Structure 1
Amino acid sequence: MLRRQRLIALLLLALLAGCAGPELRTQNGLGQAGLSIERALILSSAKQALGTPYRYGGETLRGVDCSGLVQMAYAAAGIGLPRTADRQFSRLPERDVARPGDLLFFGSGSTATHVGIYLGDRRMIHAPGRGRRVSITSLDIDYWHEHFLGAAGPAP
């Protein structure tokens, strides 16, 4: 009986471990002075887009979607990116710890359906969706932890 209970407990632990996704780990860096010029340009461009309306497929200050915002911000630093969140997620160098200017990917399974730019202090800037505007959000919201896929960033 005791052996059976241990086996059940081990199976439950294995099942729970399999449900856990990647951990959203961040590093604040050394403030703006500690950032590369590329990262400073990415963050500055993203902040200039605050309040821009969401527009599916948009990539200008007249309207952006999440991957368009990211593409626009990185272009300001001279860095080209794939157009969609999923392509960005699958093609960019992965980061174990997100630093300001890195990309944060969210979705389900292994498909990224949303991307934002890490600002530091456990916040990101993103284009949240239809009917909303580019904004800053806290990463301490359960939704982000539950849907986090990983971080990436080609910026030095």
Structure 2
Amino acid sequence: MTAHVNRRVPSLIARAGTASALTLAVVGGSVLVPGAASEADAATQAAKALNVAASKRGAPYKRGAAGPYRFDCSGLTLYSYKRVGKSLPRSAQAQYNKTRHIRASQLQRGDLVFFHRGRSVYHVGIYAGGNKIWHSPKQGAVVRLERIWSKSVWYGRVR
């Protein structure tokens, strides 16, 4: 398969032309186009942020806390993404406002799940797959993996 792809790459490059705005690159037998690498990099960062959140399993909830040992909901998402080099605002509403809003059909592991009443966001977690999120739910609880319990949710992807 790789040999077949490699034979076609020179003709693709020739057709694109040296002065073309579209630059093709061959990496490990794959043809990449501009912008594709950044999407892959964002997905990798999201997966790493998800792993950070999961590593905090059992950490107690504390209102206003953003780690490393205690968290509220938006504190956990802020901390998890900060550890992978991404900046998020402090509150769940502000995080929703900063993310790229996506549909449920686009949801990937590491995206943020926002719970809302009307137009106001009141809670956030990190999507783990299988209709579950990692989150820090409330006073007296700990960071845990839990099923999404509401249909009043919006989704966001950290840029």
Pair in the same fold by TM > 0.5 = yes
Structure 1: 5+ residue stretches without partners: 1-34
- Kindly, what percent of the aligned residue pairs are identical? 30
Matched, 1:154 2:144: no
| 2:117 alignment counterpart | 108
Task: Please give the root-mean-square deviation of Cα atoms over the aligned residues, in Å.
Answer: 1.4
* Distance in 2 (alpha carbons) for counterparts of 1:83 and 1:89: 11
Question: 1:71-126 CA deviation, whole Å, 9 max, x = no partner?
Answer: 00111111000100011112211011321000000021111010000001111110
SS in 1 for 2:79: helix
* Distance in 2 (alpha carbons) for counterparts of 1:129 and 1:42: 21
Q: Given the alignment, which residue of 49, 71, 85 partners 1:78?
A: 85
Q: Given the alignment, which residue of 62, 66, 83 partners 1:59?
A: 66
* Distance in 1 (alpha carbons) for counterparts of 2:46 and 2:98: 19
Matched, 1:94 2:101: yes
Q: Given the alignment, which residue of 49, 63, 66 partners 1:42?
A: 49
Question: How much has 1:138 moved relative to structure 2?
Answer: 1.1
Question: How much has 1:49 moved relative to structure 2?
Answer: 0.7
Structure 2: 5+ residue stretches without partners: 1-41
* Distance in 1 (alpha carbons) for counterparts of 2:86 and 2:110: 12
Matched, 1:125 2:129: no
Choose 1 or 2 for highest CA Rg: 2
* Distance in 2 (alpha carbons) for counterparts of 1:85 and 1:102: 13
| 1:134 alignment counterpart | 143
| 1:19 alignment counterpart | none
Q: Match of 1:125, as an amino acid? A: W
Question: How much has 1:68 moved relative to structure 2?
Answer: 0.3
Question: 1:15-37 CA deviation, whole Å, 9 max, x = no partner?
Answer: xxxxxxxxxxxxxxxxxxxx832
